[in-house]
Structure 1
Amino acid sequence: MSVSGVTPHPLSTDAIGRGVTLDNWADAPHNRWTFLHLDEVLRMQVIQASPHPEPLAAEPDPNLLRLATPRYDATGRITGHTTGADVLADTYTDGFVILHHGRIRAETYADSMLPDTRHLLMSVTKTVVGVVATTLVDAGWFGFDTRVQEIVPALGESGFAGATVRHLLDMRSGVRFNETYHDPDADVYLMEHATQWRSPRADIPDTLHDFLLTLPREREHGGTFHYRSSETDALGWVCEEATGRPLADLIHDYVWAPMGGEHTAYVSIDQAGTAIADGGMCATLRDVARLGEMLRHSGISPSGRKVGPSWLTTDTLLGTEDLRSAFAATSSPTGMPGGHYRNQIWVPFPDRTTFLALGVHGQMIYVNQRAAITGVKLSSWPTAQDGARFFDTLGLFETLASALTRSALAAHPAAIKEKR
């Protein structure tokens, strides 16, 4: 039985009055409003809240965001230091929260965002879909080595023919897909016309699935990592076809309900009702933090409810040597030397204790298992990518993780035990 519903037709009177259209909603300055009101712009399917919300305790430290943190240029070179509060102000922050041992230590909102406001997550959605897909693997719906056309026969007539679920999870299929932002002829933008994230075009298919079937293969599957949103959309199709259920319901049943999501979330859909798995979710700041906390706890909510597979976080962090070689050889700009990509999650450092969920325009979940830190930053950068703002954000989380760890050790020199 479906637990989801569809929001009213897009482009509300308020959106139109603000000059918002399908072709400019993601552009500055409109995105400072639209990222917080996407249900007034695009078709959305509802992901119901959990009947048992996960509680989040708060022990705020008013001095935390006054700490000095490095500032960076677009290449990752340190150019100076400012306070954490300055970083948030300079990087178009809509909502920010950081937890230590499951307790909120700092939480801030822009004037336009409230604790119950749903914010567009962009490609943080990919990580949610990765949890759904690995949960289905764990439950036996399909395997990592299952070829996608065994579940979605139509994909056998496309460039995805021969690709496996593992190839999609790690973005190592051989399908050609250009993810160059701000290039109107790039595949990532053509796909937005197909999904009605932009105005329809006569030369582009008018549904997500039909668009995916046009993508050719340009190399062998299982080779170099290339970041491509089409991989996640194909993965979402596999999950829906295998179970016979819409992605919104799968997210509710396998992620939102068991992790204790306090608020309903949304996921954007095309005109055929297909969820935009690569970046269409909208959720509240604290619910995104609950997602990060669940992943930090290796698939268990802080109160002990099983969510994702118990092996997901370990498998993601450890990866394989082949995976890291494939990541190092990529032509996709990552800013993460020595890192890798696994299960729709970024592992930025060689030490394999920290992982990220990332979305364009400044969305980030930061999880540091060694420091027991989970952080979330939701933003509305004017541009899809910005190297300096990315490094500033990652650097701020690293600074706060270090400071909170030092503070905890100073207060409790003995071993710190996880507070549940």
Structure 2
Amino acid sequence: MKKSIIVLSILFAFGASATTQHAPDKAFLDAAAQVGITQANWDTGSNAKLNMQNAYRFTHYLEMKNGPFIHDMGKPQDFDLTKVQGHDIDGPIAMDELLRDRLNTEAVVILKDGQLVNEYYWSGMDKNSTHLQMSITKSFTSMTLQTLVAEGKVDMNALITDYLPELKASPSFSEATVQEVADMRSGVKINFSEGRLWDERMTNVQEWNGPNQYPEMKSILDFAKIVNVRTDYKRGEKYDYQDINTEMLGMVVARVTGSSLAESMEERIWKKVGFEHHARFMSNSTGEAVGSGGLNATARDVALMMDLLINDGKNRNGEQVLQKSFADKLLNGNDEVNLAWSNGKESVMAPNGWYKDQIRTFDIEGHKFLAFVGIHGQVTIGEPSTGIVLQFNGAQDEMQVTRTVALTFLSVVPTLLDAVEMQTQQPIGAYLDDKTGEVVIVGESE
């Protein structure tokens, strides 16, 4: 009887068509504890190889269901990663080895124009395996918000307090627009907890590592109210990557729709893109999804989301899910995001780039592409000019280090974009020239 009352309470809180909430997997937690992995330490880099595929089991989570349209990607083409030459600091190396052994990649999916070029899975994964997407989640939260913008329900130039009046007393958010929050230009100042790169009060409210130890904070909004403001840069002038910005976008979605972020994402994104699988969205016990990093989804489905974005916002059934203008604005940037990027630390690696609406745009080695990015090796690349999508899910030991980031974006991505484009233009075959170390594509004329 008690269980029925709890279920009915959840449905009443989120609406009759709510996503299904699940509690942490006790049997899994008990098994994990026997090898020293607990809710408190599951997300440390040393545990990534196991827990990126099982992250949702450590927290509450909401299940998002896919819709009736499921896109058929087709069969893999004759594209062989072993024949593509990558480079590490010690010299040439086959791309499959570079990804699997050097970058701890667990899944690779390559699409062109919505069709499968090839896919690779390691570390026990397959095409049906979900994987923690970390901050790739931010892009999904932003794209959910954009469906409301398209309907005229959210004005990106309005103050965020127009939608979340609780933030009017906030030292940081009180003067920020929704657009500045989406671009990570809100001017928030996070005081890191000792030994961490975040304020532990936020992750406590989200119950990311077990029960909340700050009972005075019932919602992520309670944390946002007390976030400090930067004094070294004016609001809007510096790109500063902070999770709390994304969480506020998720709260705007919830406030405007009257539904939870997970329920809105299910209805507006998950049921419309053509995904093959349901997804799991990590949350706290009250159903607030972790909009900045809690999405557990298959590599194929995340790749398909990027395919939609670079396909003018249309799914492969021809339905407009996102506005074409949204993708265009991401690709073109503007003076505000250019200035903010130049004042941020990522511009050192990629000066020709910017961050807008929770999505990065890069121009590297002649390739201009969009990127969803998450720590520990989660990367989704979409190149509009060629229709190529690259999806990587990883389990890197460290969250985000110079070597792995530079190797991925400055070497692996442009090399693969070149190789895929060459082969799909002349799809007869490819081989690695032992003498030159270059990829040779064998075309019809030969």
Q: TM-score, normalised by structure 1?
A: 0.90
Alpha-carbon deviation of 1:358? 0.3
Unaligned runs of 5+ in 2: 1-15, 429-446
In the aligned structure 1, how far is the partner of 2:82 from the partner of 2:205?
A: 42
Structure-2 residue corresponding to 1:22: 39
Structure-1 residue corresponding to 2:415: 399
**What pairs up with 1:251-400 in 2 under 5 angstroms?**
251-331=265-345, 335-349=349-363, 353-394=368-409, 395-400=411-416
Residue 208 of structure 2 corresponds to residue 197 of structure 1: yes
In the aligned structure 2, how far is the partner of 1:136 from the partner of 1:337?
A: 32
Contact map agreement 1:196 1:271 (CA 8 A) in 2 = yes
Alpha-carbon deviation of 1:411? 6.0
In the aligned structure 1, how far is the partner of 2:169 from the partner of 2:397?
A: 38
Structure 1 segments of 4+ aligned residues over 6 angstroms from their partners: none
Deviations 1:22-73 (CA, angstroms, capped at 9, x unpaired) = 221012432222211123211101111222211111233253442112225x
Contact map agreement 1:7 1:39 (CA 8 A) in 2 = no
User: Does the C-alpha gap of structure 1 residues 193 and 328 become closer, same or farther in structure 2, counting only changes over 3 Å?
Assistant: same
In the aligned structure 1, how far is the partner of 2:356 from the partner of 2:117?
A: 29
Aligned to 1:140, what secondary structure does the other structure show?
coil
Contact map agreement 2:144 2:265 (CA 8 A) in 1 = yes
Unaligned runs of 5+ in 1: 73-78, 413-420
Deviations 1:66-110 (CA, angstroms, capped at 9, x unpaired) = 2112225xxxxxx52211111122211111111123222221111
Contact map agreement 2:380 2:392 (CA 8 A) in 1 = yes
Structure-1 residue corresponding to 2:4: none
**What pairs up with 1:6-405 in 2 under 5 angstroms?**
6-11=21-26, 12=28, 13-71=30-88, 80-89=91-100, 90-158=102-170, 159-177=172-190, 184-199=195-210, 200-202=212-214, 205=217, 207-219=219-231, 220-331=234-345, 335-349=349-363, 353-394=368-409, 395-405=411-421
In the aligned structure 2, how far is the partner of 1:397 from the partner of 1:352?
A: 9
The AA in structure 1 aligned to 2:414 is E
User: Does the C-alpha gap of structure 1 residues 349 and 204 become closer, same or farther in structure 2, counting only changes over 3 Å?
Assistant: farther
Aligned to 1:106, what secondary structure does the other structure show?
strand
Aligned-pair identity in percent equals: 23
Contact map agreement 2:311 2:387 (CA 8 A) in 1 = no
Contact map agreement 1:355 1:368 (CA 8 A) in 2 = yes
Structure 1 vs Structure 2 CA RMSD: 2.2
In the aligned structure 2, how far is the partner of 1:120 from the partner of 1:16?
A: 20
Aligned to 1:287, what secondary structure does the other structure show?
helix
Alpha-carbon deviation of 1:163? 1.0
Alpha-carbon deviation of 1:188? 4.5
Deviations 1:202-261 (CA, angstroms, capped at 9, x unpaired) = 598464222122202224432211111111001111111111111111111111111011
Contact map agreement 1:87 1:392 (CA 8 A) in 2 = no
Aligned to 1:187, what secondary structure does the other structure show?
coil
Contact map agreement 1:195 1:206 (CA 8 A) in 2 = no
The AA in structure 2 aligned to 1:406 is M
In the aligned structure 2, how far is the partner of 1:42 from the partner of 1:306?
A: 34
Q: TM-score, normalised by structure 2?
A: 0.85
The AA in structure 1 aligned to 2:186 is S
Contact map agreement 2:23 2:59 (CA 8 A) in 1 = no
Aligned to 2:50, what secondary structure does the other structure show?
helix
Higher alpha-carbon Rg:
2
Contact map agreement 2:281 2:290 (CA 8 A) in 1 = yes
User: Does the C-alpha gap of structure 1 residues 33 and 142 become closer, same or farther in structure 2, counting only changes over 3 Å?
Assistant: same
The AA in structure 1 aligned to 2:207 is Q
In the aligned structure 1, how far is the partner of 2:216 from the partner of 2:174?
A: 21
